A and B are shown apart, each in its own frame.
Chain A
Amino acid sequence: MTDLTNLTVAGIRDGHRAGEFTAVEVAEAFNANVANAKALNAFIVETPELALAAARQADADRAAGTLKPLSGVPLGMKDLFATKGVQTTAASKILEGFVPPYESSVSQKLWDAGAGMLGKLNLDQFAMGSSNETSAFGNVISPWRRTGSDTALAPGGSSGGSSAAIAARLCPAATGTDTGGSIRQPAAFTGISGIKPTYGRCSRWGIVAFASSLDQAGPMAQDVRDCAILLENMAGFDAKDGTSLDLPVPNWEAALSGDLKGKKVGIPKEYRIEGIDAEVDAMWEAGVAMLKDAGAEVVSISLPHTKYALGAYYIIAPAEASSNLARYDGVRYGLRDLPEGAGLQDMYAATRAAGFGPEVKRRIMIGTYVLSAGFYDAYYTQAQKVRTLISQDFMKAFEQCDVILTPTAPSAAFGLGEKNTDPLEMYLNDVFSVPASLAGLPAMSVPAAITKEGLPLGLHIIGKPFDEQGVLNAGLAIEQRAGFTAKPAKWW
């Protein structure tokens, strides 16, 4: 039955519905893959019994004729989503052992749709990182390797547990969250698809916050159709999130079409940055050709403030994080470090020193600094102005085109430890993904090429606000033409 784990979400759903296999068989197959993949360190907590329980329910529902949209589909859950009764850590020591008495809105929707949980997926600590090396529970190792090399590679970040688990077929699909590229960059690094919807599509309620104005949940999966299916079951208005979009959830899967006749695809000249990998550049060219082939017209556009995006992002996100993470103070839950004779301030200092990893501390310090009296206007206010200008750039560009095509990341996956000496070099990984985050736009990564070293590369499609359909359709057009079928050779 091992081939069950090669199925897509749609394949599992349809096969289960047709009676080709039981949901329990599916759950057992994925549970076995999870159990046999410790070397990847993709999961922080494994919950095979939950996957099985949902599967039994799915089989019963099938017998009773009450199937739900995701009946029989087991999923991986990024460990940033609060899951009732299951430890939720954000990959940080400060939340080790924390078991929420509540379920995040997005995960609840998925369970309500019949999905089951295989486990909680590793990530960069508090979703801060691009390589999964900031997790307090050890870094995830990508199932991909360079041809003829056994160098451990980064699965991308922050949703690196999600990307690695899907690429290694430990789960058919998984949730991710994206603040500056945390769904898209790991998807690109591991040869899978992932979409960050318009800001507000998915409720943030119950997701451990990193940067509230940017955080957005989305699905990661083997292909574009699976992303559409999952997003339909994750999105929707939630009165418990003040920034939730009060819009109906379209039937994205049903409207999928790789025919782009009449559509215009914008190519932003500012994204042709210095030092871009030649193979990435070539993939981009090939992507343009694919979309033309799908019937789209290609236009050159300008997003003049792009070069300020990364700087603005690394002010706004840490500023919000420095405040969002103030609640981890040792008073009510999670880690408490109370040295002998310590007062309140000492407890704060000891708890937070012991509980947060170096990258989290770095961002808290940056954020605290940029919000400080005397620096606020020079940094935070200025960054917000840049953010507005970047949004305006996109709005102008979308007068000329329907979607924008760029590479997802400036390079293929790098080796673990190769980029963690200089944080700024790591931050550059987000250069293509961050502008869409700042503007709150839907954007996705689809696998489009394999490098000479045998590693996947992703193309990045940015859409108009609320136009996830346009993004998914352009992604599908690429998927249909890129012929990306490569899988990592099993070594774990």
Chain B
Amino acid sequence: MSDYRIKGETGEWEVVIGLEVHAQVTSNAKLFSGAATAFGAEPNTQVSLVDAAMPGMLPTPNMECIRQAVRTGMAINAQINKYSRFDRKNYFYADLPQGYQISQLYHPIVGEGTLEIEADEKAGIAANKVIGVERIHVEQDAGKLMHDQHPTMSYVDLNRSGVALMEIVSRPDMASPAEAGAYLRKLRAILRYVGSCDGNMEEGSMRADVNVSVRKAGDPLGTRTETKNVNSVRFVMQAIEHEAHRQVEVLEAGGKVDQETRLFNPDTGTTRTMRSKEDAHDYRYFPDPDLLPLNLSDEFVAACRDSLPELPDAKRDRYLGLGISAYNAAVLTAEVESARWFDALLDAGAKPVAAANWVASELFGALNRLGRDISDSPVSPAEAAELLGLVADGTISGSIAKQVFEIMLETGDGAAKIVDEKGLKQNSDTGAIEAEIAKVLAANADKVEQYKGGKEALFGFFVGQTMKAMQGKANPQVVNELLKKALG
């Protein structure tokens, strides 16, 4: 149980959250027409006769979109419905050429599934939590109105009209903004692993309708509101925060929460009424008579399953099994590109634990500094493996490796070449090290006394002095061993 509560005048309130996420299916063509789906194209250049709902035009399902929805369902361990059907949702709007949206109300393609969010102490998520997914269905997107093109008229751009969306409907299983944020991030990661949606919230590839209600502990569910089309994780969390507090205020003032549709204002972080239940459309859903029910063959379903990549949870468990820390495993699997990069690093022969530490601190740090994504990292997994290999076989020390990495970033040269040219090879010659140790101990006889008298913290001082004397190139392990012996 989340311990997130709204503290009101009359006591504490629990928050109940469900999310309906609209994810644009990655596909070259629309759900029911062959038109292209490129983002950012000139208005009305990605429109077929079907998308414009010309008289006599008919939809035919694009099986690539269906395949992506099925694969997404499999990725959340959901029931795949081999029989599903399309329904028409009827309403009039200028961005909806057909006068109806083709969706799946009665028989969605994907049924019950689950998604696990990880414990996150800082965010107040005490333990891993399973969030139920009620269903995933596919439907058409609408076009968009442009109100800034003409002083008195609105223009219509149908480029998005008919683009395939997956609507992923969660159970009302989330109890805090943090849980909702974690759910969205996890869902986004899964979609990107599967490749069914690019998860790009800025471009509108993923947006959420946020259902929120509040109640006193032990009470039945309160009346919920639905805040439409929120397009970032942060905004979703803000919208929940604001909406939950607003509802508590309304209830504590003796009012009633209206079941209504609300809009989120990203500038103020607040929500406002869009339309009340009384104004709600009667969508007159009925089965689309232009489309036969979808009957997926066993072969089709099996091919979908075979095409699934290793998913975030499985990958994380595999990394844990390699001895990688839970924190690093989580960081490395959060984004599919990081995970793929890391897997390539392992494939190139890097040792898992050291490689994970290095990627999570050195590489991510560098990328952060350079403002680059891992997908255009200046250092390839093979080049990184070479560097890590030099550390692993004792050629260079960890601290020298940092220097070498910096030079790699600057020059693009390989690690071995740099080590060679700059003479950074680590010195493991016990004779040379023993000679330097002897000098250091002689020069610091007082400190040796103190050490022997019990001030063991001075050991680090002797290590530092010895390393300094050897320009940092001494093998630290060898230095440690020989120092211990000398101080015996």
Which A positions have Cβ atoms within 8 angstroms of B?
81-82, 88, 90, 95, 98, 100-102, 104, 204-209, 211-213, 239-243, 319-320, 322-323, 325-327, 329, 331-333, 344-345, 348, 368, 371-373, 376, 380
Report if A242-B292 is in contact (Cβ < 8 Å); known contacts: A205-B58, A323-B90. yes
Report if A242-B54 is in contact (Cβ < 8 Å); known contacts: A326-B100, A331-B156. no
Does B88 have its Cβ within 8 Å of any Cβ on chain A? yes
Residue among B58, B97, B292 making CB contact with A204, cutoff 8 Å: B58
Cα A329 to Cα B90 in complex, Å, equals 13
Cα A325 to Cα B99 in complex, Å, equals 8
Cα A339 to Cα B341 in complex, Å, equals 61
B99 contacts A327, C-beta separation under 8 Å: yes
Does B92 have its Cβ within 8 Å of any Cβ on chain A? yes
Cα A240 to Cα B59 in complex, Å, equals 7
Q: Which residues of B contact A332 (CB under 8 A)?
A: 52-54, 97, 156
Q: Which residues of B contact A212 (CB under 8 A)?
A: 289-290
- Interfacial residues of chain B within 52-93, with CB under 8 A of chain A in the complex: 52-61, 88, 90, 92-93
B56 contacts A104, C-beta separation under 8 Å: yes
Residue among B49, B54, B56, B284 making CB contact with A323, cutoff 8 Å: B284
Which B positions have Cβ atoms within 8 angstroms of A?
49, 52-61, 88, 90, 92-94, 97-100, 156, 282, 284-286, 289-292
12 other A-B residue contacts (CB within 8 Å) besides A100-B54, A102-B54, A323-B88: A82-B56, A207-B56, A212-B289, A241-B58, A242-B58, A323-B99, A327-B97, A332-B52, A332-B53, A332-B54, A333-B55, A344-B93
Q: Which residues of A contact B98 (CB under 8 A)?
A: 326-327
Q: Which residues of A contact B59 (CB under 8 A)?
A: 242
Q: Which residues of B contact A329 (CB under 8 A)?
A: 92, 94, 99
Cα A98 to Cα B60 in complex, Å, equals 24
A95 contacts B55, C-beta separation under 8 Å: yes
Q: Which residues of B contact A348 (CB under 8 A)?
A: 92
A333 contacts B54, C-beta separation under 8 Å: yes
Query: Nearest Cβ distance between residue B56 and chain A, in whole angstroms?
Result: 4
Cα A200 to Cα B57 in complex, Å, equals 15
Cα A204 to Cα B57 in complex, Å, equals 8
Q: Is the interface of B mostly helix, strand, loop or mixed?
A: loop
B99 contacts A243, C-beta separation under 8 Å: no
A90 contacts B55, C-beta separation under 8 Å: yes
- Find the residue from A95, A204, A206 having the highest chain B CB count within 10 A: A206
B286 contacts A371, C-beta separation under 8 Å: yes
Query: Nearest Cβ distance between residue A104 and chain B, in whole angstroms?
Result: 6
A82 contacts B289, C-beta separation under 8 Å: no
Residue among B57, B100, B282, B290 making CB contact with A243, cutoff 8 Å: B290
Query: Nearest Cβ distance between residue B89 and chain A, in whole angstroms?
Result: 10
Cα A315 to Cα B229 in complex, Å, equals 36
A323 contacts B286, C-beta separation under 8 Å: yes
Query: Nearest Cβ distance between residue A133 and chain B, in whole angstroms?
Result: 22
Query: Nearest Cβ distance between residue A334 and chain B, in whole angstroms?
Result: 8
Report if A240-B60 is in contact (Cβ < 8 Å); known contacts: A326-B100, A327-B99. yes
Cα A376 to Cα B88 in complex, Å, equals 14
Query: Nearest Cβ distance between residue A99 and chain B, in whole angstroms?
Result: 11
A206 contacts B289, C-beta separation under 8 Å: no
Report if A205-B99 is in contact (Cβ < 8 Å); known contacts: A212-B290, A323-B284, A371-B90. no
B60 contacts A242, C-beta separation under 8 Å: yes
Residue in B closest to A89 when the chains form the complex, CB atoms: B55
A208 contacts B58, C-beta separation under 8 Å: no
B100 contacts A205, C-beta separation under 8 Å: no
Q: Which residues of B contact A372 (CB under 8 A)?
A: 282, 284
Query: Nearest Cβ distance between residue B146 and chain A, in whole angstroms?
Result: 14
Report if A204-B92 is in contact (Cβ < 8 Å); known contacts: A323-B286, A376-B286. no
Query: Nearest Cβ distance between residue A236 and chain B, in whole angstroms?
Result: 15
Residue in A closest to B90 when the chains form the complex, CB atoms: A323
Cα A242 to Cα B33 in complex, Å, equals 12
Residue in B closest to A82 when the chains form the complex, CB atoms: B56
B282 contacts A373, C-beta separation under 8 Å: yes
A327 contacts B53, C-beta separation under 8 Å: yes
Q: Which residues of B contact A81 (CB under 8 A)?
A: 56
Q: Which residues of A contact B285 (CB under 8 A)?
A: 371, 376
Report if A98-B90 is in contact (Cβ < 8 Å); known contacts: A323-B100, A331-B97, A332-B97. no
Query: Nearest Cβ distance between residue B406 and chain A, in whole angstroms?
Result: 59
Residue among A88, A206, A209, A319 making CB contact with B286, cutoff 8 Å: A319
Q: Which residues of B contact A345 (CB under 8 A)?
A: 92
Cα A318 to Cα B52 in complex, Å, equals 23
Residue in A closest to B88 when the chains form the complex, CB atoms: A323
Query: Nearest Cβ distance between residue A234 and chain B, in whole angstroms?
Result: 15
Residue in B closest to A88 when the chains form the complex, CB atoms: B55
Query: Nearest Cβ distance between residue A373 and chain B, in whole angstroms?
Result: 5
Residue in B closest to A104 when the chains form the complex, CB atoms: B56
Query: Nearest Cβ distance between residue A426 and chain B, in whole angstroms?
Result: 24
Q: Which residues of B contact A240 (CB under 8 A)?
A: 58, 60
Q: Which residues of B contact A373 (CB under 8 A)?
A: 282, 284
Query: Nearest Cβ distance between residue A423 and chain B, in whole angstroms?
Result: 22
14 contacts between A and B (CB under 8 A): A90-B55, A98-B55, A100-B56, A102-B49, A205-B56, A326-B98, A327-B97, A332-B97, A333-B55, A348-B92, A371-B286, A373-B282, A373-B284, A376-B284
Q: Which residues of A contact B100 (CB under 8 A)?
A: 323, 326
Query: Nearest Cβ distance between residue A289 and chain B, in whole angstroms?
Result: 40
Q: Which residues of A contact B291 (CB under 8 A)?
A: 242-243
Cα A207 to Cα B290 in complex, Å, equals 12
Query: Nearest Cβ distance between residue A217 and chain B, in whole angstroms?
Result: 11
Residue among B94, B290, B292 making CB contact with A331, cutoff 8 Å: B94
B56 contacts A208, C-beta separation under 8 Å: yes
Query: Nearest Cβ distance between residue A45 and chain B, in whole angstroms?
Result: 15
Residue in A closest to B32 when the chains form the complex, CB atoms: A242
Report if A368-B55 is in contact (Cβ < 8 Å); known contacts: A323-B100, A326-B90, A326-B100. no
A326 contacts B92, C-beta separation under 8 Å: yes
Residue among A102, A206, A243 making CB contact with B292, cutoff 8 Å: A243
Residue in A closest to B154 when the chains form the complex, CB atoms: A344
B49 contacts A320, C-beta separation under 8 Å: no
Q: Which residues of A contact B60 (CB under 8 A)?
A: 239-242
Query: Nearest Cβ distance between residue A301 and chain B, in whole angstroms?
Result: 29
Query: Nearest Cβ distance between residue A357 and chain B, in whole angstroms?
Result: 16
Residue in B closest to A207 when the chains form the complex, CB atoms: B56
Q: Which residues of A contact B54 (CB under 8 A)?
A: 82, 100, 102, 332-333
Cα A405 to Cα B279 in complex, Å, equals 52
Cα A213 to Cα B88 in complex, Å, equals 14
Cα A125 to Cα B292 in complex, Å, equals 27
Query: Nearest Cβ distance between residue A304 and chain B, in whole angstroms?
Result: 26
A368 contacts B284, C-beta separation under 8 Å: yes
Cα A449 to Cα B432 in complex, Å, equals 122
Cα A480 to Cα B289 in complex, Å, equals 39
Q: Which residues of B contact A100 (CB under 8 A)?
A: 54-56
Q: Which residues of B contact A95 (CB under 8 A)?
A: 55
Cα A332 to Cα B292 in complex, Å, equals 28
Cα A211 to Cα B290 in complex, Å, equals 9
Residue in B closest to A331 when the chains form the complex, CB atoms: B94
A211 contacts B97, C-beta separation under 8 Å: no
Report if A380-B56 is in contact (Cβ < 8 Å); known contacts: A242-B61, A331-B156. no
Query: Nearest Cβ distance between residue B449 and chain A, in whole angstroms?
Result: 92
Query: Nearest Cβ distance between residue B100 and chain A, in whole angstroms?
Result: 6
Query: Nearest Cβ distance between residue B93 and chain A, in whole angstroms?
Result: 8
- Find the residue from B55, B60, B286, B291 having the highest chain A CB count within 10 A: B55
